[in-house]
Amino acid sequence: MLDSYAPAVSTHTVDGTPGATPASSVVIDCRINNMYYGNFRALRDTHLAIERGSITAFIGPSGCGKSSALRCLNRMNDLVRGFRLEGQVTFLGRDIYGAKVDPVAVRRYVGMVFQQPNPFATSIYNNVAFGLRLNRFRGSIAERVEKALRGAALWDEVKDKLHTSGLALSGGQQQRLCIARAIATEPDVLLMDEPCSALDPIATRRIEELMVELRARYTIAIVTHNLQQAKRVADRTAFMYVDTSAGGRTGYLVEFGQTQQVFDDPRHAHTQAYIRGEFS
Amino acid sequence: MTTKVVEMSAVAEGVDLRHLEMSLRSPRTFISAALSAVAIGASILACIPLLSVLTMLAYRGGARLSWEALTSTPPAALAAGGGFGNALVGTLTMVAIATLLSVPCGVMAAAYLAFVGPESPTSAVVRFTAKVLTGLPSVLAGVFAYAAVVLTTGGFSAPAGGVALAVLMLPTVLLTAEEAIKMVPARMKEAAVGMGATQAQVLFRVVLPTAMPGILTGVMLAVARAAGETAPLIFTALFSNYWLFDLGRLNLMKPTASLAVLIYNFSAAPFANQVSLAWAASLVLVVMVLGFNIAGQFLSRNRHHR
């Protein structure tokens, strides 16, 4: 029964979102109509707006296209062969899939933290300075490295060993190093693709605290498998589900709203079932 | 709780514990022990050639090794003393030329094969060519360089020798560098792309630095192989009894001595002095090759890899 075709969800777009704020605060407006990897339709009808200074969580069962949707937002999917998008993703009003847009430039404004901590095989300092050097940053790199490490709540743990390998840190520290690396260039948006799934509960808690601190300066979108995590940190939550009616496995956005509303008063039967833990 | 222990020991009593004892009368144990013995014996046998060569070199070469041998030019027939300093310099020069030619070319080609266009038809052709070239008899590299460099430049020279050695080094450098580059975790490349790095920036700032220890190991192995080659040098650099520096000037465009060719020439000479010099030169060459190999092993342990 859960696999049956869900009614159109297009009412839950920017304007239909409960508590929608004026359009000026929208940083990324995602209007994915269809997204393909080759002949495989991975996503359909995923329309949502990510607002400045907020944390937006993507939740849903495995294979529902949460990560695919997130990776559309900074053109990481361009690396996947056969990727094709029908629809539009705008960043501060500009279509990032426009013909003249350089995907490399997009990624400098919309940074990313990955599922597995992935520091480079170099020192902690060089890891954080990486993005600054890419952009030929003119100011004091050391200052910005310290600022980013403080921002990622890692400075006190590593200030005496900045020139040791980033790979020698623990998993949780590595992930905070990756966050420091991502925020060193001060991007507008930080996309986080299940940033805590490889971490233990204590490290997870620290990353969550960090996200809440970072919200003031960075707009954050996070994919998570952990419903409690979404509940703890996200301002708004997008619930995605898989549609198998057409034979494939196509993900789509079921419901998008304030986190509290999505968890306490879900509008859709699928959302309700997922949040109650009836399936995952 | 005590009842449980009693129950368990009762079960243990039911088992025939004699089977726990190791006995060579059991066929499986016997075969296992016999095969272990064969493996140990074979590995000892494998060490015999290397160890006997090293012992012989240390014994016969060590006797003749001296500061004079390392710093003088070869003696004339029937003359006493002399050395192979010019051959040592010649070998190092030609290996350096070969490294300068083959490493940039090989590493960049490997970057293309492993990173830029791994699936492209060009890559398939280059990879196949490199694998075939790995098995190229070294004498053919010599003949090739003879036709390509010696005949066109008008004589035997150190650069001609360098070209021949570069042809031999190229496939090793290329294929080991490709493997090293492929070993760079995909998530590191993804991280760099996610930071807004262009493809060139990902290559030069993340992929090559991370793969560098592996690349250098391959380079060292190739250098070690090239240093010991004789056949290609006979066709290209020939031999010389003189230094590359002449009257204070470096002149590479003339026949150049090398340790390998000196050993080849002197070991068959009818003079005891020359034969003993060949032993000493062999020892120096082996120590040099061993040095490159150890350097390669050392470099593969990068401080940023745990």
At A213 the pLDDT is 86
Residue A255 domain-assigned? yes
Residue A2 domain-assigned? no
The pLDDT of residue B266 is above 80: yes
**For B18-46, what is the mean pLDDT?**
88
- Which architecture characterizes domain B87-299 according to CATH? Orthogonal Bundle (1.10)
What are the tens digits of pLDDT across the range A152-179? 888 989 989 999 999 999 988 998 999 9
The pLDDT of residue B97 is above 60: yes
Q: Which of B185, B197, B306 sits opposite A134 (nearest CB)?
A: B197
Between CA B202 and CA B211 the distance in angstroms is 12
Contact A79 B192 (CB under 8 A): no
**For A186-201, what is the mean pLDDT?**
88
Which residues in chain B are closer than 8 Å to A120, comparing Cβ atoms? 188, 191-192, 206, 209-210
The per-residue DSSP string of chain A comes to -TTSPPPP-GGGSTTTSTTPPPGGGEEEEEEEEEEEETTEEEEEEEEEEEETT-EEEEE-STTSSHHHHHHHTTTGGGGSTTEEEEEEEEETTEETTSTT--HHHHHHHEEEE-SS----SSBHHHHHHHHHHHTT--S-HHHHHHHHHHHTT-HHHHTT-TTSBGGGS-HHHHHHHHHHHHHTT--SEEEEESTTTTS-HHHHHHHHHHHHHHTTTSEEEEE-S-HHHHHHH-SEEEEEEEE-TTSS-EEEEEEEEEHHHHHHS-SSHHHHHHHTTS--
CA B232 from chain centre, in angstroms, equals 17
pLDDT band at A7 (very low <50, low <70, confident <90, very high): very low
At B292 the pLDDT is 87
Average pLDDT score, chain B:
88
Does A121 contact B at CB distance below 8 Å? Answer: yes
The pLDDT of residue A16 is above 70: no
**For A111-132, what is the mean pLDDT?**
91
Question: In b/e form, how buried is each residue of B144-178, taking b as 16+ CB within 10 angstroms?
Answer: bbbeebbeeeeebbbbbbbbbbbbbbbbbbbbbbb
B73 vs B94, higher pLDDT: B94
Does B118 contact A at CB distance below 8 Å? Answer: no
The pLDDT of residue A56 is above 90: yes
Average pLDDT score, chain A:
85
pLDDT band at A20 (very low <50, low <70, confident <90, very high): very low
pLDDT band at B175 (very low <50, low <70, confident <90, very high): very high
Interface test with B, best of A73, A134, A161 (most B CBs within 10 A): A134
At A19 the pLDDT is 43
pLDDT band at A29 (very low <50, low <70, confident <90, very high): very high
Closest chain B CA to residue A73 = B194
pLDDT band at B13 (very low <50, low <70, confident <90, very high): low
At A200 the pLDDT is 83
Closest chain B CA to residue A131 = B195
pLDDT band at B76 (very low <50, low <70, confident <90, very high): confident
Interface test with A, best of B304, B305, B306 (most A CBs within 10 A): B304
Bridge-partner residues for B17, per DSSP? none
Report the domain count for chain A. Answer: 1
Residue A280 domain-assigned? no
The pLDDT of residue B18 is above 80: no
Does A137 contact B at CB distance below 8 Å? Answer: no
Does A261 contact B at CB distance below 8 Å? Answer: no
Contact A178 B191 (CB under 8 A): yes
Closest chain A CA to residue B211 = A121
% of chain B residues with pLDDT over 70: 92
Residue A1 domain-assigned? no
Contact B306 A168 (CB under 8 A): yes
Between CA B128 and CA B142 the distance in angstroms is 22
**For A53-80, what is the mean pLDDT?**
90
What are the tens digits of pLDDT across the range B132-168? 999 899 999 999 999 999 999 988 999 999 999 999 9
Q: Which of A74, A118, A165 sits opposite B188 (nearest CB)?
A: A118
Which residues in chain A are closer than 8 Å to B194, comparing Cβ atoms? 74, 76, 107, 111-112, 114, 182
The pLDDT of residue B32 is above 60: yes
The pLDDT of residue A3 is above 60: no
The pLDDT of residue B12 is above 60: no
Which residues in chain B are closer than 8 Å to A169, comparing Cβ atoms? none
Measure B159 CA to nearest chain A CA, in Å. 37
Nearest alpha carbon to residue A224 among A249, A192, A266, A251: A192
Between CA A149 and CA A161 the distance in angstroms is 12
DSSP classification of residue B268: T
Nearest alpha carbon to residue B176 among B113, B228, B118, B247: B113
Contact A74 B205 (CB under 8 A): no
**For B274-282, what is the mean pLDDT?**
93
Q: Which of A79, A111, A120 sits opposite B206 (nearest CB)?
A: A120
At B207 the pLDDT is 94
H/E stretch holding B125 reads helix B121-134
What ipTM was reported for this prediction?
0.79
Q: Which of A17-21, A103-107, A239-243, B55-59 has the lowest mean pLDDT?
A: A17-21
Does A168 contact B at CB distance below 8 Å? Answer: yes
Q: Which of A76, A121, A165 sits opposite B194 (nearest CB)?
A: A76
At A278 the pLDDT is 66
At B9 the pLDDT is 52
**For A221-243, what is the mean pLDDT?**
91
Assign residue A132 the CATH number of its domain. Answer: 3.40.50.300
Closest chain B CA to residue A129 = B195
Does B190 contact A at CB distance below 8 Å? Answer: yes
At B125 the pLDDT is 95
At B206 the pLDDT is 92
Contact yes or no for B230/B260 (Cβ under 8 A): yes
Closest chain B CA to residue A105 = B196
% of chain A residues with pLDDT over 70: 90
Does A182 contact B at CB distance below 8 Å? Answer: yes
- Specify the pTM: 0.79
Contact B196 A121 (CB under 8 A): no
Does A135 contact B at CB distance below 8 Å? Answer: yes
Q: Which of A199-203, B36-40, B68-72, B95-99 has the lowest mean pLDDT?
A: A199-203
Does B4 contact A at CB distance below 8 Å? Answer: no
Which residues in chain A are closer than 8 Å to B302, comparing Cβ atoms? 121
At B20 the pLDDT is 74
The pLDDT of residue A14 is above 50: no
Q: Is the dihedral of CA B199, B205, B208, B210 positive or negative?
A: negative
The pLDDT of residue A6 is above 80: no
Does A122 contact B at CB distance below 8 Å? Answer: yes
